Amino acid sequence: MISLHNLAEFDWQTHLKQAVTRLDTLLEAVELTANDVDISEEAARSFTLKVPLTYLARIKKGDPNDPLLLQVLPQKAEMESFPGYSHDPLAEMVSNPAPGLIHKYQGRVLFIVSGACAINCRYCFRRHFPYEDQQLSGDQWQQVLTYLRNDPSISEVIFSGGDPLATSDNRLDRMISDLEAIPHLERLRIHTRLPVVIPQRVTDQLAQRLAQSRFKTVCVLHINHPNEIDDAVGQATLKLRDARVTVLNQAVLLKNINDNAAILHQLSLRLFDYAILPYYLFLLDKVEGAAHFDIDDEAAASLVRQLQATLPGYLVPRLAREVPGKPSKTWIAF
């Protein structure tokens, strides 16, 4: 039996290495059996199971419907195919002018800083992404820098992945320094789930580097359920705020996980307890293997109307989806 004690004693790299990658280990840790859940070894092979112990510790033991468990559990439904679901639901490969670079929207570009993640969420829209072809290293990085220097309309760079914080502080420092040398760049945005699943990732070195940057820096976290926020997560995000980083949250609306107004209401309040502002509530990207998480637009709009009736406007996230070819995220009327 794996130990979930004294997790705070280990650094984030150790937690990455110790993440659970076997179904039997996961089930044992959450005190369930194969008869309790609709698991699939084939799904786990198709998209690798990966759950760090810091996240596993927040899953309620003996509960097959725990909302955190359902986000990481490989299920038989993943192996079913449905019309309209694809391996590249956002058509990113047609907006890929250089390896590791995605340029879809005016004024900003996205870098695939790392193909690694601390956790493999089963609804991930990049679960089929060809990371092996999108390495940002050596000549590829210089090619990206040249691309940026030659386009003064770009003012914002987005670190994404995988998870960009799965790379080292020293590499992030070098990348930020190279970008700071390009005068027309003004903002750095980091899209990450690592401070949520492994709070130890917000190191003193990372916080100090972001605080010293000339960029206006935004960190967009990915938190879907209030149970994902324990005090360690909260302290990590406050550390980012102390480093002059604006901290936002985007959630994905997921069937049987957070498609409930009371849960979303609690999520917004819990986020604000730690100075995180709700940003987006996304409808599911139609990626192959995740159809069982989807809910329809009207049900989603109804949920946000209920939030609007009970929360101040700054705690109501924007309901949106990403539509390939559109010049921005598409807001859903509610």
The CA distance from 200 to 176, in Å, is 21
54: region left, alpha or beta (phi > 0 left; psi from -120 to 50 alpha):
alpha
Residue with tokens 């003996």: 62
Q: What angle do CA 194, 198, 204 make, to 5 degrees?
A: 85
Nearest to 237 by CA among 253, 254, 220: 220
Read off the pTM: 0.93
Q: What tens digit of pLDDT does each residue of 184-225 get?
A: 999 999 999 999 999 999 999 999 999 999 999 999 999 999
Strands of the 330-331 sheet, one edge to the other = 101-105, 108-114, 156-161, 187-192, 216-222, 246-252, 277-282, 318-321, 330-331
Segment 81-108, tens digit of pLDDT = 888 888 776 666 656 777 888 898 999 9
Task: Summarize the confidence of residues 239-268 as an average pLDDT.
Answer: 98
Give residue 330's pLDDT band: very low, low, confident or very high (50, 70, 90).
confident
- pLDDT tens-digit readout, 274-296: 999 999 999 998 888 899 999 99
CA distance 200 to 9: 9
Burial class (CB in 10 A: 0-12, 13-18, 19+), 306: middle
Distances (CA, A) of 150 to 12, 46, 154: 37, 40, 9
Structure token digits, residue 294:
């989807």
Report how far residue 172's alpha carbon sits from residue 217's, in angstroms, rounded to the nearest whole number.
Answer: 13
**Domains in the chain, CATH or no CATH each:** 7-79 (no CATH), 92-331 (3.20.20.70)
